[in-house]
Chains A and B, each alone.
Chain A
Amino acid sequence: MSDPFLSVSDLRVQFPTEDGVVSAVDGVDFAVEKNKTLAIVGESGSGKSVTSQAIMGLLNRKTAKVTGEVRLDGEELLTARPEQVRSLRGKRMSMIFQDPLSSLHPFYSIGKQLVEAIDVHQNVSSSAAMTQARDMLDRVGIPNPERRLKDYPHNLSGGMRQRVMIAMALLNSPELLIADEPTTALDVTVQAQIIELLRDLQKEFNTAIILITHDLGVVADMADDVVVMYGGRVVEKGGIDDIYYRPEMPYTWGLLGSVPRMDAGHSTRLEPIPGQPPSLIRLPKGCVFRPRCAYHELVPGDRCDVERPDLLPVSPEHAVRCHLEPAQRQEIANERFGLTSVDTGVTERREDA
């Protein structure tokens, strides 16, 4: 295992508001290696997007209190000067946003916007920059790139715009790419094209990708590792198979039980999580998931109510934040999902590799 390219430790983001302090991110740790994809999964308000904005240095430090440590290839970003972060952003790390229409400037042509991204970081002539831009549009599968350079964002379809965003993010061959819901606004057939494209580009450029999404299908398709967030905390993290076949946190169970599967029979019933996500101003004192957890009664006393569980490892790569005993969790997981044993998982993984 190589050193992680990006490591995030004890990241906290707080927004002071009139109603109280919003703890959007509350002690998040994870790491991503080159050529790997880490998925951050969670619902609205789980803190997944704020985490990525904190990494990219996109939060306004006047309104957001950011603490902890974010290291990109060893370099600490949170305490770095803004100019320093700016020189990395768009070059060594870049980001794709969910909504390409609102992230592209409507008044400037595609070509102008791409060339600007090159000019900021490279010292090349404008014609060389234009050639680079055209080649990148071609690379992301845009037909007639020459003509498209003169087009404006409104001339393009949603899938094409997302390709332009990806092209822009990749212009300076970043080593870290953060994709925040990159396919949520797209149709499935276009989503499949974009996923394929990201996968190819990762292979070519050896990029570390952080994929932020709520879509467990896309995660299964793309990710190597998964971080599950809830109420601003990491509640479970592990390899892709750990999360899908040996999940140990009741919230992860709830998520997996909530997703309808196209390959499942019509008669199966979804098992939703009751209740609503917590308010980030008044987070529960103990476990954040306690108010919606169906299993808290199995934990003796009121530990779930008063004691915040730690993120504890169950295997070298798999960690869970829950007060249930490991044996209890494994039993419930087996029962609810009819999972195969750990052994078969390992052999199958070897076959796949």
Chain B
Amino acid sequence: MTAVDESNAGIVAGRSDALLRVENVQKYFPINGGGLLKRKVGDVKAVESISFDIIPGETLGVVGESGCGKSTAGRTVMKLLDPTGGKIEFEGRDITNLTRKEMVPLRREMQMIFQDPYSSLNPRHTVGAIISAPFKVQGVKPARGVQAEVQDLMARVGLNPEHFNRYPNEFSGGQRQRIGIARAIALRPKLIVCDEPVSALDVSIQAQVVNLLEDLQDEFRLAYIFIAHDLSVVRHISDRIAVMYLGRIMELADSERIYKAPLHPYTHALTSAVPLPDPRAERKRERILLHGDLPSPINPPSGCVFRTRCPKAQDLCAQEIPVLRELAPGHFGACHFPEERHLI
């Protein structure tokens, strides 16, 4: 890790009531060469350095294109993957180096919802067994019995409680996602990491699930880390949004500001690329087209990782890594030349 990233700490210093605090978290995957010794020949730098915090009841959206490290980031802060650097705090407790076993009690507090409602549910288990698994694992015995509790959960997420004994293949994609949600909220966690929870669903079903997530958040004061590539959905559900590119956070701000006053050229290009469902607005809109492809995370560009595709890049951008700093109140950006008219 380079020393430059240290000032990232400023981004999380402000909020004392943080539920989760992530500081310079890094996740590298080693690449091993061929041959007998399988020597390490390099690293896939999936997450180079990310810092953010999240308070109870808040939704932090994480957006970025495929390969930007958003899913790895989600899994790492959940400790499903072990970070190779940085610090993760949950309710003030350092959990960075906890073992799998030590994490078990904490799993009550933090849960995950996955993208693919087909592969994230065991096809040989009944819905009842799937949703009651958290109770079993955690040794929780609800007063009214597990089945009654599970049926309540099913009703709460909009499933028919009588379908308790059915198998996942008897449900549609949207219903399966509801099963995954019921399982995630079973033990009333404080934080749920949602990794592309609605991308596999049809629009009309997607809206049902988004509304359900919003209702559950209000009811249980859940905090969500909502990871998705669809900016419209993220903007709709999030209070704040972190924009990631090649393993780093480029910008983090209120979702309103990310859309209306982006400071980072990448955010600007990204939001301008999203087509609006409004033909008249579309005819008037100007797009910033980015050229080229995402660089390899094995060998990222020097300096600013975005510089190879940035329309504003200058010499400084190749030499110095821009630090994620507070450019306007509550608005963080990692750019040497942020959009000046938005710097208020």
From B175, B208, B255, B273, A191 is in contact (CB under 8 Å) with B273
Q: Does B275 contact A260, Cβ atoms closer than 8 Å?
A: no
For the complex, what is the distance from the CA of A270 to the CA of B237, rounded to whole Å?
10
Q: Does A220 contact B282, Cβ atoms closer than 8 Å?
A: yes
Interface check A254, CB cutoff 8 A:
yes
Evaluate whether A262 and B271 lie within 8 angstroms (CB atoms) in the complex, with A269-B211, A270-B207, A277-B202 already known. yes
Evaluate whether A273 and B204 lie within 8 angstroms (CB atoms) in the complex, with A189-B65, A262-B276 already known. yes
Q: Interface size (A, Cβ < 8 Å)? A: 53
Q: Does B204 contact A244, Cβ atoms closer than 8 Å?
A: no
Contacts of B290 in A (CB 8 A): 189, 193
Of the candidates B202, B236, B279, B291, the one having the most CB atoms from chain A within 10 angstroms of its own CB is B279
Q: Does A258 contact B275, Cβ atoms closer than 8 Å?
A: no
Interface check B174, CB cutoff 8 A:
yes
Contacts of B175 in A (CB 8 A): 276
Evaluate whether A263 and B273 lie within 8 angstroms (CB atoms) in the complex, with A221-B282, A244-B279, A270-B210 already known. no
Contacts of B274 in A (CB 8 A): 188, 217, 262
Evaluate whether A159 and B293 lie within 8 angstroms (CB atoms) in the complex, with A260-B210, A270-B211 already known. yes
Contacts of B235 in A (CB 8 A): 260, 262, 266
For the complex, what is the distance from the CA of A43 to the CA of B207, rounded to whole Å?
13
Evaluate whether A261 and B66 lie within 8 angstroms (CB atoms) in the complex, with A189-B270, A270-B236 already known. no
From A159, A217, A272, B204 is in contact (CB under 8 Å) with A272
CB distance from A259 to the nearest CB of B (A): 5
Evaluate whether A220 and B273 lie within 8 angstroms (CB atoms) in the complex, with A272-B204, A272-B205, A273-B204 already known. no
For the complex, what is the distance from the CA of A231 to the CA of B174, rounded to whole Å?
18
Evaluate whether A260 and B208 lie within 8 angstroms (CB atoms) in the complex, with A160-B293, A188-B270, A192-B289 already known. no
For the complex, what is the distance from the CA of A195 to the CA of B237, rounded to whole Å?
27
Where chain B touches its partner, the secondary structure class is helix
Interface check A271, CB cutoff 8 A:
yes
From A158, A241, A259, A268, B277 is in contact (CB under 8 Å) with A259
Contacts of B259 in A (CB 8 A): 262-263
For the complex, what is the distance from the CA of A255 to the CA of B202, rounded to whole Å?
10
Contacts of A191 in B (CB 8 A): 273, 275
Q: Does B202 contact A43, Cβ atoms closer than 8 Å?
A: yes
Q: Does B280 contact A241, Cβ atoms closer than 8 Å?
A: yes
Closest residue of chain A to B259 (Cβ to Cβ) is A262
Interface check A298, CB cutoff 8 A:
no
Residues of B within 8 A of A (CB): 65-66, 172, 174-175, 202-208, 210-211, 214, 229, 231-233, 235-239, 255-256, 259, 269-283, 287, 289-294
20 additional A-B pairs beyond A260-B236, A271-B207, A348-B280, beta carbons within 8 Å, are A188-B65, A188-B274, A192-B289, A217-B277, A219-B277, A221-B275, A223-B279, A244-B278, A257-B207, A260-B237, A261-B277, A262-B232, A262-B235, A262-B259, A265-B256, A269-B211, A272-B210, A276-B172, A276-B174, A352-B283
Residues of A within 8 A of B (CB): 43-44, 143, 157-160, 187-193, 195-196, 214-221, 223, 240-241, 244-245, 254-266, 268-274, 276-277, 348, 352
Provide a sorted-by-A list of 21 A–B residue pairs whose CB atoms are within 8 angstroms: A43-B204, A157-B293, A189-B290, A191-B275, A192-B272, A192-B287, A193-B290, A193-B291, A196-B287, A214-B202, A214-B203, A217-B232, A217-B277, A218-B275, A257-B207, A269-B211, A269-B214, A272-B205, A272-B211, A273-B204, A348-B280
